[in-house]
Structure 1
Amino acid sequence: MLIARLIADPHNLETRLDAAIAALEGAGLRVAEAAMLDFCGDVLELSLPEGDPRVLRRVIDDHFAPVDVLVSPHEITAPRVFVSDMDSTMIGQECIDELADFASLKDQVSAITERAMLGELDFASALGERVGLLGGMAESAIESCLAERIRPMDGAGTLVATLKARGCRSVLVTGGFHHFADPVAGQLGFDRVVANRLGVADGALTGALAGGIVDSAVKRQVLLDEVAQLGGDVTSLATGDGANDIPMIEAATWGIAYHAKPKARAAADGTVDRGDLTAILSLLGIPRSDWIAK
C-alpha cells in the first residue's frame, strides 16, 4: 500500500489530478482511490496498492508544485515522537547569522552557513569557523539578538501543542546553541532540548564551543533514542530544512522537509513548500477543530 496526502492550489485541481493519474499509470503505478479527506477538506489523498514512493513524489511535484505532501507506505497517524531542527524550521532565522550581524560579520558567517546547509562543507568544520568569528562578543548580545530578531515560524507553537495533546513527546535538536534553543523550546512547548553550548568567559564568547558538537549523527541518534525509550515500535516524525537534518529525516517514520534545500527534500517522505507548519497537522489527518492554537 502507498498513501499520498497533498495540499495544493485548488485552481484546476481536478484537471491536474487527472493528468497526474495518467502520468502515474504511464509509470506503472495504479491509483486505486483519489478523494478529499472528509475531516481535512483541503487535503487530497491518493491510495495506491503498490509502487515506488520516489516516482509518486516526482509525479506529484510535476503536476502540483508548489505542494505540501506526505507519502507513506502505511497508514498515516499522529506520531508518538516528534524531533525537529530549530533554525529555519521552528524559527524563521539562522541564529548564528543574526548573532554575527551584531558583530558586523554576517556576510562571512552567512556564506559558511549556506555552504554547510547545501552539504558542501563539513558541518563540524563550518561550525568551528563560524563560532571562532564570534570570539570576544559580549554574552549580553545574545539576549538582545534573541529579543529583537528571533521569531517562531508560523504555526510552530500550534504544531507542537497539538501533537502534545495527542500524547506526542517533542524534542528540539539543533546545531545551534542552548542560549537560543532553550528559550525557543520553552516558548513553543518542547519537552527536551539538544544543542551546542557556546564557551563563555568573563562575560564574553570565547570563540569556541563548550562540550561536544551536535551534528547530523547526534540528531539521528536523539530520534532513535527517544523512540527506543517508548518501546522501539512507536511512530516518529522529524522535520528540518538542511543537509544536516537528513539522517534524522531518513530515520523517522515520516520525515518532512520544511521549505528545504534540495538534498533534504530528496531525502524526505514529504515536504511543506507552500504552507506553514500547521500544514503538517493536515497531512497527518488531524482536523483543524482539534488544533491547539498557540
Structure 2
Amino acid sequence: MIIATLVAAGRLTKESLYSAADRLEDARFKAHEWSWIDEGSAADIEIQADPSKIAQLRSLLEGSIPETDVIVQPGEGREKKLLVADMDSTMIGQECIDELADYAGKKDEISSVTERAMQGDLDFATALVERVASLNGLNIGAIDRCRADRVRANPGARTLVQTMKRRGAMTLLVTGGFHDFADPMAAELGFTEVRANYLESVHGRLTGKVAGKIVDATAKCAALIEMRDRLGLSKDAVLAVGDGANDAPMITEAGLGVAYRGKPKLLAAADARLDHNDLTALLWAQGIPRREWVRD
C-alpha cells in the first residue's frame, strides 16, 4: 500500500482531497478513502499501487493543489527511527558563514560563493576553503555575537527533533558549517549527535583555515551510513532533510529524503519536497498527529 500525505497547515479542505482522489482515479490508480491526520491541515490517501509507481504518483499529485506539500511513500515503515538533518537554511534560517562574514565586512562577496556552492555550481570543499580564508584575522568574539544576534531555528525544527526523540528515534545534525554554531544549535533543538567543521584560531583570531577534514557532501552521506549501520537500521528507517546540492548524496541514501526549500539539483534527487509548510510537516509525513507532538 502507498500513502500520499497532503499537508497544507490550516488550509487543507475536503474539496482538495476529493480533487486529489479524483485525479488518481482518472489516472487509473485505485485510491481508497482518505483520512485526516489533523483536520484542516494534513490527510492521508491510501493508494493500491506497487512501490515502483511512487515517482509517477508524486508527479501526478505535486502541484495539483495550491500551497500544498505532497509526500508519497510506502505505508509500511513510514515512521522513521533516525533523523539526519542539514543545519544552514534547513534547521536554521541562515547561512552561518555568510552572517559571520558580515562582521568582517565581507558578507556580499561570501554570500555569492555560498549560493553557487549550494546550487552545485562550485565544489563545496573548494568553496568552503575560499570563504573561510576571507575570515582571516576576525576576532573569535564575533562568533558568539553572530550566534546570539542572528542565528535562529526554522519554524518547527525543535518540535520535529523533540517529537522524534520522544518516540525513540535517534537524531544527527550534519553540516558543512561549523561546530561553533552547530553544537549550541544541536543542544537547543535536541539532536543526539553532531558532525561539522572546525574553524582554526590562534590567539583569539581566526586564521582563515578549516581545521581537520572538511565535512562535504561525501562526509555527510558517510555520517548517515555510519550512524544507520551502528544502530542496525535499514535504509527505509531513515529520514534525511536538507536544502543544497551538497545534501543530495545523503538524501538519496535515506528511505525518505526531503528537500526543504530545496535547490534544483537537490530537488532532482529528493523523494519529497517542502515548499509551503514548516518542518512539522515531516511529522505528518510519518502519520504523527499534532496531539502527539512535543511542543516548544
With structure 2 as the length reference, what TM-score do the two structures score? 0.92
Q: Does the residue aligned with 1:167 lie in a helix, a strand or coil? A: coil
**What secondary structure sits across from 1:197 in the alignment?**
strand
Q: What is the aligned residue count?
A: 292
2:6 aligned partner: 6
Conservation of the 8 A alpha-carbon contact between 1:40 and 1:286: no
CA contact (8 A) 2:84 2:174 kept: yes
After superposition, give the CA deviation of every residue in 1:163-220 in whole Å (9 maximum; x if it has no partner).
0000111110000000100110111111111001111111111111000010111111
The equivalences for 1:41-190 within 5 A come to 41=39, 42-50=41-49, 52-190=53-191
Ranges of 4+ aligned residues in structure 1 off by more than 6 Å = 9-12
Q: Is 2:209 aligned against 1:208? A: yes
Distance 1:212 1:9, change over 3 A: closer
Q: Residue deviations 1:111-151, cap 9 Å, x none? A: 01111111111111111111111111111110110010001
Alpha carbon RMSD of aligned pairs, Å?
Answer: 2.0
Amino acid at match of 1:8: A
SS at match of 1:63: coil
Cross-structure match for 1:268: 270
Paired with 1:10 and 1:110, the residues of 2 have a C-alpha distance of 34
Q: Which residue of 2 aligns with 1:235?
A: 237
Structure 1 position 22, deviation (Å): 4.9
Q: In 2, are the aligned partners of 1:76 and 1:285 still within 8 Å (CA)?
A: no
What amino acid maps onto 1:276 in structure 2?
A: D
Q: Structure 1's 12 and 103: CA in aligned 2 closer, same or farther, altered over 3 A?
A: closer
**Where do 5+ consecutive residues of structure 1 fail to align?**
none
Is contact 2:12–2:42 with CA below 8 Å preserved after alignment?
Answer: no
Q: Distance in 1 between matches of 2:14 and 2:268?
A: 26
Q: 2:254 aligns with which of 252, 255, 275?
A: 252
For 2:279, the aligned partner's letter is L
Q: 1:252 to 1:129 in 2, by over 3 A?
A: same
- The residue that corresponds to 1:292 in the other structure is 294
**Identical residues among aligned pairs (%):** 47
Cα gap change, 1:289 to 1:232, in 2 (>3 Å): closer
Alpha-carbon distance, 1:232 to partner? 3.3
Q: 1:27 to 1:120 in 2, by over 3 A?
A: farther
Q: Aligned AA for 2:252? A: E
Matched residue SS, 2:88: coil
